[in-house]
Amino acid sequence: MKILIATAYDYPHAGGLSTHVATLKAGLEERGHEVDVLSFTDVAPVVRKMYAQGPSFVINKVRKGRGILWSHYARKNLLKALILKNKKKNYDIINAQDPFTTLAALETGIPVVSTVHGYMAFEAVSKGSIDEGSPEAREMQEIEIKAYQNTRKIITVDQRLKQYVKDISGVDGIAIRNFIDIHSFKPDKDRKNTLRDQYSLSHDENILFVPRRLTKKNGVIYPALAMPAVLKEFPNTRLIYAGNGEALSEIKKIVAENGIEDRVDLLGAVAHDKVKDYYALADVALVPSVHSAGVEEATSISALEAMGSGSPLVACAVGGLKEIIKDKVDGLLVEEKNVQELAEAIIFLLQNPKQGEDFAAKARQKIEDEYSHLAAAEKYEEIYLSALDRK
**CATH 3.40.190.10 corresponds to the domain 189-370:** no
Using alpha carbons, select from 271, 376, 371, 267 the residue that is nearest to residue 325.
Answer: 371
- pLDDT value at residue 12: 83
The boundaries of every CATH 3.40.50.2000 domain in the chain are 2-179+372-387, 189-370
Q: Are 373 and 180 in contact (CB under 8 A)?
A: yes
- pLDDT value at residue 293: 64
Q: Are 95 and 4 in contact (CB under 8 A)?
A: yes
pLDDT, one tens digit per residue, over 269-328 is 998 889 999 999 999 999 999 987 666 666 788 999 999 999 999 999 998 898 899 999
Compute the distance between CA of residue 156 and CA of residue 55 in angstroms, rounded to an integer: 32
Compute the distance between CA of residue 47 and CA of residue 376 in angstroms, rounded to an integer: 36
Residues of the chain short of pLDDT 50, as ranges, are none
Question: In which element (H, E) is residue 92 found?
Answer: none
- pLDDT value at residue 387: 97
Q: Are 337 and 307 in contact (CB under 8 A)?
A: no
Please give the CATH topology (third level) of the domain spanning 2-179+372-387.
Rossmann fold (3.40.50)
- pLDDT value at residue 158: 85
The number of beta carbons lying within 10 Å of the beta carbon of residue 268 is 12
Query: 368 Cβ partners below 8 Å, 6+ apart?
Result: 182, 308
- pLDDT value at residue 317: 93
- pLDDT value at residue 255: 98
Query: 358 Cβ partners below 8 Å, 6+ apart?
Result: none
